[in-house]
Structure 1
């Protein structure tokens, strides 16, 4: 029974780590898409609609990257 509990715990730890990595990957991909759209001249409102985020976030990110 102890071996079963240890294996279950290891599996759950691995599952949580994979989920975290997947979420980070999605966030990085979204950020890259936003930056690419800013570089192509799309408006913050259009990008926000596509990325399902706020225009304020788009503007803040654009300013940090010296694109706005």
Structure 2
């Protein structure tokens, strides 16, 4: 088995495929993290709107524009 692993590691095409797959998985993981962070931010903004916190305060705390807070609030029937 050790011999087979060494042979595969030295095979250029297999190595290239592995590196391509590794890069794609890394990209997909990073994209998933970004999506999760955006969802978390959205949920926080919506909860703050439900609590009656001002749009300006929400925008400042979430580091987004007031226009974004208003748009999000309207899309979710909170404004």
**TM-score clears 0.5:** yes
RMSD: 0.6
SS of the residue aligned with 1:57?
helix
Corresponding residue of 2:16: 5
Does 1:20 pair with 2:31?
yes
User: When the two structures are superposed, what TM-score results if normalisation uses the length of structure 2?
Assistant: 0.83
Question: Which of 51, 54, 60 is the equivalent residue of 2:65?
Answer: 54
**Structure with bigger gyration radius:** 2
Aligned residues: 68
Question: Which of 1, 16, 29 is the equivalent residue of 2:40?
Answer: 29
Q: CA deviation at 1:66?
A: 1.2
User: When the two structures are superposed, what TM-score results if normalisation uses the length of structure 1?
Assistant: 0.96
| Structure 2: gaps (5+ residues) | 1-11
| Structure 1: gaps (5+ residues) | none
